[in-house]
Amino acid sequence: KARNSNEPEFLQAVEEVLHSLEPVIEKHPEYVEAGILDRIVEPERQIIFRVPWVDDNGKVQVNRGFRVQFNGAIGPYKGGLRFHPSVYLGIIKFLGFEQIFKNSLTGLPIGGGKGGSDFDPKGKSDAEIMRFCQSFMTELYRHIGPDVDVPAGDIGVGAREIGYLYGQYRRIRGAFENGVLTGKGLTYGGSLARKEATGYGLLYFVDEMLKANNHSIEGKVIAISGSGNVAIYACEKATLLGAKVVAMSDSNGYIYDANGINLDTIKRLKEVERKRIKEYVKEHPNAEYHEGNVWEGKFKYDIALPCSTQNDINLERAKNIIENGAIAVGEGANMPTTNEAINYFLEKGILVAPAKAANAGGVATSALEMSQNSMRYSWTFEEVDSKLKEIMKNIHKSAAEASKEYGFGYNLVAGANIAGFKKVADAMLAQGIY
Ligand code: NDP
């Protein structure tokens, strides 16, 4: 704790996992003897670097770049890059730590890592984004590779940024080594269904959770925070499964549309025009726009899907979500709920689909993209989507079984931590002290 005291998000992520692992440690003293817990909370490698770039006015700007290679026991490090002004080492470490267990849960051979920069993409021109990405990759390239570390997107890093990053990597390496990044465009090795995967996977997982508890997604009313990649495709799949999404948000405010959100409008505003969500009400005057956080809004819904950022739901907002009628929470974002709020939900009998399990569809499909790159072959949308669905079902099953086995009943938060941990811990045991 003392070593990481200035990184509250990292401590929060570690505390949640360690709490779930108490019964596992009791049953397996060999993990303690081999120092697994002490080792698993310390990244294998942390890289911090200068990212200088020139803005459109010819002025030199400097940002800080990060890549944390947290745990490579079961495969090459894998995890996204986040570009957001709030990024510092503690954010990247919490994300990298969570990624270890998430990647393990997918059943695919990928280790945990994460990276990014405190660069703020908002209001930047396309040329500035390109120059920043090129500078970022000019340092990062020496630390990554298809069998070493395979970054992807996250907040502020989508298809456009991955394109610029890959272009620079290819230029420096002088080779078409496209297995080095995932989330690529379809013309140069991207996978069909990768863009949709995190949001779709979230809904497949929530559907499994509801079914296991004699509910169904059909006819449910849903509120979503965020309007980025995860939020948009969560909204799309929820609608396809017969639910109605009535709210979405950005960091300024949220829209409420009692008729159900028109996703075509959202996709155009966010994916093409890169505008703010309040523009929605200009085209849909029956909808409302409110400043502030969507989880403080007073309106009815059955399911809350936080898909924006960490600590979006604190205790007070959790209470409001229950007052609004929610029976389930599905975490599309990473660590969107504080530990206090998660415990409150669980105490009140709210079903919680934890991020590590529920949003693992994105990284799982990234691993499928890596497989296709290795084979130099592409699967159809339907093939990838059906693999994704199967993976989400299996993750739900592993988490539910682990929770039961270790005395937590049906608690997917604990179950996901335990199931994700065991595979990595066993691989670390087998590989000796490292
Ligand atoms: P995007 O950049 O596409 O979208 C992020 C959304 O969250 C935007 O609507 C943004 O609003 C909002 N947001 C970001 N930061 C804040 C903040 N500090 N306060 C309020 N709102 C905020 O990112 P993604 O959709 O890719 O990622 C969303 C979440 O899902 C993250 O937690 C990410 O780690 C997680 N995730 C993403 C995966 C993926 O495949 N993309 C995979 C697994 C998890 P604004 O435009 O106003 O900033």
Domain chopping of the chain, boundaries = 2-178, 196-349
Report whether 99 belongs to an annotated binding site: yes
**Residue 256: strand pairing partners:** 247, 288
Asked if residue 2 has pLDDT above 80, the reply is: no
Q: Pick from 114, 184, 230 the residue to mutate for probing ligand 1's pocket: most ligand atoms within 8 Å of its CB.
A: 230
Using DSSP, state whether 119 is helix, strand or coil. coil
Q: Rounded distance, CA 168 to CA 179, Å?
A: 14
Ligand 1 site-directed mutation target among 99, 227, 229, most atoms within 8 Å of CB: 229
Q: How far is CA 317 from CA 33, 220, 322, in A?
A: 41, 20, 9
pLDDT > 90 in the chain, percent: 99
**Rounded average pLDDT over 153-160:** 98
What distance in angstroms lies between residue 368's CA and the mean position of ligand 1's atoms?
Answer: 22
What architecture (CATH level 2) is domain 2-178? 3-Layer(aba) Sandwich (3.40)
pLDDT at 417 over 90: yes
> What is the spatial distance between Cα 72 and Cα 76, in angstroms, rounded to a whole number?
6
Expressed in angstroms and rounded, the spacing between residue 310 Cα and the centre of ligand 1 is 9
Residue-level pLDDT at 418: 98
Pairing, β 288-291 against β 253-256: antiparallel
Q: Which of helix, strand or coil describes residue 271? A: helix
Which tens digit of pLDDT belongs to each residue from 206-218? 999 999 999 999 9
pLDDT at site 415: 98
The helix or strand, by DSSP H or E, that contains position 332, with its residue range, turns out to be: none
Residue for token pair 């509120």: 223
Residue 182 is labelled as binding a ligand: no
For position 1, what pLDDT does the model report? Answer: 73
Q: Does domain 196-349 have CATH number 3.30.1050.10?
A: no
Nearest to 98 by CA among 360, 380, 381, 370: 360
Q: Global pTM? A: 0.98
CA of 312 to the centre of ligand 1 (A): 11
CB 145 within 8 A of CB 177: yes
Digit-coded pLDDT (tens) for 357-397: 999 999 999 999 999 999 999 999 999 999 999 999 999 99
Ligand 1 geometric centre to CA of 243 (Å): 22
Q: Which of 93, 114, 422, 423 is catalytic?
A: 114
359 lines ligand 1 (CB under 6 A): yes
Please work out whether the CB of residue 151 comes within 6 Å of at least one atom of ligand 1: no
CA of 251 to the centre of ligand 1 (A): 10
**Residue 78 annotated in ligand binding:** yes
pLDDT tens digit sequence for 94-132: 999 999 999 999 999 999 999 999 999 999 999 999 999
Q: Is 114 a catalytic residue?
A: yes
Q: Does 229 carry a binding-site annotation?
A: yes
- 198 appears as a binding residue in the annotation: yes
**Cβ-based neighbour number of residue 242 at 10 Å:** 11
Please give the Cα distance from 67 to 44 (Å, whole number): 11
Q: For the segment 303-350, what is each residue's pLDDT rounded down to a tens digit?
A: 999 999 999 999 999 999 999 999 999 999 999 999 999 999 999 999
Strand partners, 263: none
Binned at pLDDT 50, 70 and 90, residue 240 comes out as very high
In 215-338, where do the E strands start and end? 221-225, 244-249, 253-256, 288-291, 303-306, 328-330
Atom 42 (ligand 1): residue with closest C-alpha? 362
Give yes or no for residue 250 CB within 6 A of ligand 1.
yes
pLDDT in tens, 47-74: 999 999 999 999 999 999 999 999 999 9
Domain 2-178 identical in fold to domain 196-349: yes
Instruction: Identify the three-state secondary structure at position 71.
Output: strand
The secondary structure of 229-261, three-state, reads HHHHHHHHHHHHCCCEEEEEECCCEEEECCCCC
Q: 4 pLDDT band (50/70/90 cuts)?
A: confident
Q: For 405-433, what is the mean pLDDT?
A: 97
Average of pLDDT values for 242-254?
Answer: 98
First to last CA, the chain: 21
| Average pLDDT of the chain to the nearest whole number | 97
